[in-house]
Amino acid sequence: MVLQALLKRNTYYDSIALMSVAQAVKDLPGVEDVGAVMATEINCELLQNSDLLPVAFLAEQQAPPGPEDLLIVVRAANEAQAQAALAAAEQRLTSRGDRGSAGGGAMLPIRSLEMALKRDETANLALISVAGEHAWLEAEQALRHGLHVFLFSDNVSIEQEQRLKALAAKNGLLLMGPDCGTAIINGVGLGFSNVVPRGSIGIVGASGTGMQQLICLVATAGMGISQAIGTGGRDLSEAIGGIMMRSSLALLANDPQTEVIVLVSKPPAARVAQEILAAAQLTKPVVIVFLGTSSERFAAAAGKAHLAHTLTGGAELAVSLAGGDRTRVPGEGALHKYDLAAQRAKLASSQHYIRALYSGGTLCDEAMLLLSEQVGAVTSNIPLHPQWALATGETFRGHTALDLGSDEFTRGRPHPMIDPTLRLQYLERAAQDSETAVILLDIVLGFCAQSHPASVYAPAIAQARASAAAAGRTLPVVISLCGTEGDPQRLSMQRKALEAAGVIVFESNLAAARAAASFVEK
Amino acid sequence: MSASLVAVDYSRPIQPLLQQEPRVATIHSVFHRAVNIALDDTMLALLSSELPCMPNSVRLSPIASERLSGSLHAGMEVLIGNASLRIPARDFSLHLPQTPPWEPRPDITAYRWSRETVTRHVRLLAHYLADQPQQGGLAPLIRPLLLGQPAPETPLSRMALPALRMLARASWRQDSAGVAEATGRLAGLGPGLTPSGDDALAGFAAVMVLFSPQLSAGTISRDVIAATIARVARPRTTALSAVLLAHASRGEIAEHMGKLLLKLALPAEASTAVLHAAERVLSFGAYSGSDTLLGTLLALRALEGDID
């Protein structure tokens, strides 16, 4: 066992940089422990208590270290491994852009595509998130440099999208977007994504939260994802013609790790749907979830493709086709976990309507489709039919489902998957309305999402339920909780905290919608 | 970089530095969105306006901040005075806006305070901090300190826990020697450029100076405790941390922390607003936010009585 150390005089790094470097070095072969601290007297005592004080190294220094000096210590199995770890720590620190040093100029942050490529010539994908009016230009430059593009930005015109996708297709590249929220490429999550194992199911989606729901359900069933490719929500429109969905489908068809392919989208243009179905006649099984369209509509053209009506249905089919156990997908079977009929019996005579407050557009769409099948018209800001649109200034009318992540709610404020403020206001309004029979919400976990949503929603829901109780009403709250155990927020921890507040929790949006409908259906 | 800019805003405590005759200062450290400038025994921070206001900050627009930090290095000369800041080597000058300075000492006296309500908020926040999924620094110690639950045993927690207990106990008893001893065991302790122990001490000191007249039993002022913490910590920790502790001992704190403290005046039912403010505090740094919150909650608890 050896201790080796590195002392950097008058050198400052922010705490996030030091933490991430220490964590990365700790994972190297032979490394037992790492300390990276400012060399205050008390931190030297802390290193001693951690068997990390490099006594001999410190004795060799001309002057003892002080509070303005950074001390990095590695304890490893042998000298070579310790040296390699220290070299890796120094390399990681100097390659980061967040140094504050008294010893020379701070490393410039990467501010252009050219700078990024100069730093790492092996890069083959650019993630672009800049103001919409500049996004197309950055994307075009990236494509011309031979990079695949994940285009998070929105406000890119349909004409620009056509041109970018044509350019990408010509060069055999992916243009994921614009307004692409989710992807998992070679195991790396981009945008809003979940921590899932790698596996044999590949997904292509023109829908961010739709893909996240599929990914999470597949992971809960014990299966993994090979690739998840986002295309941007307009890809299957008449104007774009499904260029990226077809390119992605071809990529997955040739990907040896992908054994089953799932395509997911909101209702596509009829011509585009036919082309996608034709392209999906592969030797590998392909599952298609075109939300909002009946299976019968495309049954004749489906050929070998498997059509599913819901995201949960798509996940069950994919798991089964990949050799897994479809009953492990948490679907409608979970409805039996709660005594919904008993809760319904406690509703007051004034309580007639479902109030759904969604942050995910596709999840909201799916819920509206399912609810309307069971309870009739569902008014919304993204209505299934024009006559079900909410009027200006109207919050709820009858059964109502709001997509609080849509543009009119997010202009000038963060998305509700990140900041719950707006949705909490709507929750309070719904709870105060004596006609509300049940409140339905989605909570999406994973990277980029709120760090601990249950800590905010559980007390707010408990308070809403208490207010309703004071007014003589019981108020059931159903949550569609989309996430995995590996997510930073931990699925089980969020579920436990929400259930402790009396919330009915389902991992399947289908089950959540069915549960909500059961409170009001005739 | 040749430019002459007007700052977005500036903090009241640094106003005297900028209004005196020009003096030579030195760039201490440079980060993406922050440049620290040392002058005598204090430090002024040039921040991007994406970051919250700090007690020692002058904030610039994000674009100006990025361009500036990319062109500077530590040790460069800065002239501060005559309501401006100049960096001759870069032909750069920054002028103060004609607006009043930002006040980093929250106006506690403008609110009506209830000990019972604050106690309930403290309990809520203690559970919130304890339930955070990814914890480092001193935050896990909220469990043994305020919730009567065990915390993971680490070298850091073994050193910090008795010192934090001693700090709370000595503060309640107005035992300056005990406060000094506890501070000596915490100052400069733990990870980070502002080590965890310092962040906890800053939260603790700020509460002592801001809230003891309103909330401590007997409404006894505990300003002396905050001053002791800053004085004892100064030679034991980093220069930047010492400056922030000195501000905290005068009740001058970061913007997001001040907002959280004022939310504690809300009724107990307004838990969502309190938790939302706490979430913003936790997002600061790797552990700085959670460590500061730990010190804040411990101090509020110490004002209620002996933690034993």
Question: How does pLDDT run across A238-251, given as a tens digit for each residue?
Answer: 999 999 999 999 99
Please check the confidence at residue A107 and state whether its pLDDT lies above 60.
no
pLDDT at B177 over 60: yes
A101 pLDDT more than 50: no
**Thinking of the domain A335-518, which architecture would CATH place it in?**
3-Layer(aba) Sandwich (3.40)
Indicate the average pLDDT of chain B: 92
CB A193 within 8 A of CB A182: yes
H helices of B150-270, where? 155-172, 176-186, 196-215, 223-233, 239-248, 255-263
CA distance A71 to chain B (A): 11
What are residue A7's DSSP bridge partners?
Answer: A71
Instruction: Work out the average pLDDT over A242-264.
Output: 96
Type and span of the H or E element at B277: helix B271-282
CB-CB neighbors (< 8 A) of A13 in chain B: 193
Q: Which tops the pLDDT comparison, A118 or A42?
A: A42
For residues B140-169, one letter each, b for 16 or more C-beta atoms within 10 angstroms of the residue's C-beta and e for the rest, the string is bbbbebbeeeebeeebbbebbbebbbbbbb
Predicted pLDDT of residue A98 = 47
Closest by CA position to B144, among listed B294, B305, B274, B304: B294
- Provide the pLDDT confidence category of residue A471 given band limits of 50, 70 and 90: very high
For tokens 């106990």, the residue is B169
Which CATH superfamily is A183-329 part of?
Succinyl-CoA synthetase domains (3.40.50.261)
Split at pLDDT 50, 70, 90, the class of B3 is confident
Residues B32, A97: C-beta atoms closer than 8 Å? yes
Residue A102 pLDDT > 60: no
A109 in contact with chain B, both atoms CB, cutoff 8 A = yes
Is residue A105's pLDDT more than 60? no
Q: How far is A23 from chain B (nearest CA, A)?
A: 12
> What pLDDT is recorded for position B16?
93
Tokens of A347: 């509703």
Residues of A in contact with B123 (CB under 8 A): none
pLDDT at B170: 95
CB < 8 Å to B136, chain A: 19
Q: Residue B71's pLDDT is what?
A: 87
| Contact across the interface for A38 and B31, Cβ inside 8 Å | no
Mean pLDDT for the stretch of residues A10-26 = 82
Contacts of B239 in chain A (CB under 8 A): 67-68
Mean pLDDT score across all residues of chain A: 91
Chain A window 425-484: which residues touch B at a Cβ cutoff of 8 Å?
451-452, 455-456, 459-460, 463
List chain B residues with CB under 8 Å of A42: 159, 185-189, 197, 236
* B117-171 per-position pLDDT tens digit: 999 999 999 999 998 876 679 999 999 999 999 988 999 999 999 999 999 999 9
- Cβ contact, residue pair A68, B238, below 8 Å: yes
Tell me if chain B has a CB within 8 Å of the CB of A112.
no
**Contact check, Cβ <8 Å, B195/A99:** no
Q: How far is B198 from chain A (nearest CA, A)?
A: 12
* Strand blocks (E) in A117-259: 125-128, 148-151, 175-176, 182-185, 188-191, 198-205, 225-230
**Rounded to whole angstroms, how far apart are CA atoms A499 and A515?**
15
* Contact state of A451 with B133 under an 8 Å Cβ cutoff: yes
Q: Domain map of chain B by residue range?
A: 3-95, 108-302
Average pLDDT over residues B13-18: 93
Q: Using one digit for the tens of pLDDT, what is the confidence trace for B262-273?
A: 999 999 888 888
Q: Residues 111-150, chain B: which have Cβ within 8 Å of A?
A: 124, 128, 131-134, 136
Range(s) within chain A of domains with CATH label 3.40.50.261: 183-329, 335-518
- Asked if pLDDT for residue A106 goes beyond 60, the answer is no
Q: Which residue of B has its CA nearest to A15?
A: B192
Domain A117-179: state its class: alpha beta
Average pLDDT over residues A254-280: 94
Instruction: Categorize the per-residue pLDDT at A133 as very low, low, confident or very high, splitting at 50, 70 and 90.
Output: confident
Does residue B285 belong to the interface with chain A, where contact is any CB pair within 8 Å? yes
pLDDT at B226 over 50: yes
Position A110 confidence tier, pLDDT thresholds 50, 70, 90: low
Cβ separation A15–B287 shorter than 8 A? yes
A contacts of B290 (beta carbons < 8 Å): none
Which range of A10-19, A119-128, A289-298 scores highest in mean pLDDT? It is A119-128
- Tell me the count of A-B CB pairs closer than 8 A: 155
- Give the Cα separation of B84 and B96 in Å (integer): 6
Check A42 against B186: CB less than 8 A apart: yes
Q: How far B137 CA lies from chain A's nearest CA (Å)? A: 10
Distance between CA atoms of residues A209 and A462, nearest Å:
26
Q: What is the mean pLDDT of the segment spanning B279-287?
A: 84
Structurally, at CATH architecture level, domain B3-95 sits in Beta Barrel (2.40)
pLDDT over threshold 90, residue A154: no
Query: Who contacts B70 (Cβ-Cβ below 8 Å, separation ≥6)?
Result: A106, A108, A109, A111
Would the CB atoms of A49 and B158 count as touching at under 8 Å? Answer: yes
Q: What is the pLDDT of residue A12?
A: 86
Read off the pLDDT of residues B233-255 as tens digits, 9 standing for 90 and up. 999 999 999 999 999 999 999 99
The answer to whether residue A71 neighbours chain B at the CB level (below 8 Å) is no
Q: Does B279 touch chain A (CB under 8 A)?
A: yes
Q: CA of A446 to nearest chain B CA: how many angstroms apart?
A: 13
Best of A45, A46, A115, A426 to substitute, by most chain B Cβ atoms within 10 angstroms, is A46
Fold category of A2-101 in CATH = Alpha-Beta Plaits (3.30.70)
The answer to whether residue B276 neighbours chain A at the CB level (below 8 Å) is yes
Which pLDDT tens digit goes with each residue over A71-85?
A: 999 999 999 999 999
Q: What residues have CB less than 8 Å from A256, skipping those under 6 apart?
A: none
Among B85, B87, B83, smallest CA distance to B101 is for: B83
User: Measured between CB atoms, does B290 come within 8 Å of chain A?
Assistant: no
Q: How far is A234 from chain B (nearest CA, A)?
A: 32
Three-state SS at A68: coil
pLDDT of A412 reads: 67
Lowest-confidence pick of A40-54, A190-204, A228-242, A413-427: A413-427
User: In which residue are the tokens 């490429």 written?
Assistant: A185
Place of tokens 């305070």: B113
Average pLDDT, integer, range A330-350:
94
Q: Would you say residue B224 has pLDDT above 80? A: yes
Cβ burial, residue A465 (10 Å; 0-12/13-18/19+): buried
Q: How does pLDDT run across B53-109, given as a tens digit for each residue?
A: 999 999 998 888 888 888 898 889 999 998 899 999 888 999 999 899 999 999 999
Give pLDDT, residue A451.
86
CB A126: neighbour CB atoms within 10 A?
19
Q: Which pairing describes strands A353-358 and A436-444: parallel, antiparallel, or unpaired?
A: parallel
Band (pLDDT 50/70/90 cuts) for residue A19 is confident
* Model confidence at A172: pLDDT above 70: yes
Q: Which residues of chain A does B240 touch, with a Cβ-Cβ cutoff of 8 Å?
A: 12
Phi/psi of residue B139, nearest 5 degrees: -55, -40
